[in-house]
Amino acid sequence: MKISVVLAAYNGEKYICEQLSSVLSQLGENDEVIVSDDNPAGKTKDAVLSLGDSRIIYTVGEGKGVVKNFENALRKARGDIIFLCDQDDVWLPGKVDTVTAAVQSGCDLVLHDASVTDENLNITDESYFRTHGSNGSFAKNIIKNSFVGCCMAFTRPVLECALPFPENVPMHDWWIALIAMKKGYRVKLIDTPLILWRRHGGNVTGGKTSLASKIRWRAVIIASLARAGRRKD
């Protein structure tokens, strides 16, 4: 079972080598890590290639933001299981084995817990799930999204039903989870923290949004889900 890890990078040179090292140590020789770089003029490419690992596939993004950057990476993924990955976290030992076991037991999309840290990896929140009330309800996740990409993995059929992303979809992870649930794929939440989720001033995702933006995003998501058909077996 081939694993693809997709990572959307933007000025990621400060932490990306530490992150990639924690990922690569858990992968097999036939697995792959796809890094889509939305600022190829920066220093990310040199940092990534300095690792000298043939499993890393470096590609240039479209320069259209994090959602399109992840879509660019996802389109190049060839694995049976696809892990989403941020550039500045650290994967804890056993993450890949734990998630893969859940998929092999029949799950199509997995969301696991995370321990939130500061920029120096000092833990500030032992459980993101507990603090944010994460759950696997379709209706509740339209109102309040639990599915953060850095804690997600899914099968190729889920990927194929999620692509292409609808125009103006607010976040890739939210869309992937909701469309998978709508189409009847099995979702599993794992309560164990499997990453150190580094939060710092330079994070691209996970920031504050205005009420107007939240309302607009939900309108786009609901309209996109309404246009999507049911799962066809």
Residue 23, token pair as written in the block: 């990922």
The answer to whether residue 54 is domain-embedded is yes
Helices 172-182 and 211-227 pack at an angle, to 10 degrees, of 40
Using one digit for the tens of pLDDT, what is the confidence trace for 87-118? 999 999 999 999 999 999 999 999 999 999 99
As a whole number, the mean pLDDT across the chain is 93
The two most distant CA atoms of the chain are separated, in Å, by: 47
Quick check: helix, strand or coil at residue 41?
coil
Using one digit for the tens of pLDDT, what is the confidence trace for 44-55? 999 999 999 999
CATH, residue 10: 3.90.550.10
Highest averaged pLDDT of the listed ranges 71-80, 136-145, 213-222:
71-80
228 pLDDT band, cuts 50/70/90, is: confident
The answer to whether residue 201 is domain-embedded is yes
> For the chain, what is the domain count?
1
Task: Give the domain range for residue 15.
Answer: 3-227
The answer to whether residue 232 is domain-embedded is no
Using one digit for the tens of pLDDT, what is the confidence trace for 135-178? 999 999 999 999 999 999 999 999 999 999 998 898 999 999 99
Q: How far apart are CA 117 and CA 195, in angstroms?
A: 10
pLDDT on residue 168: 87
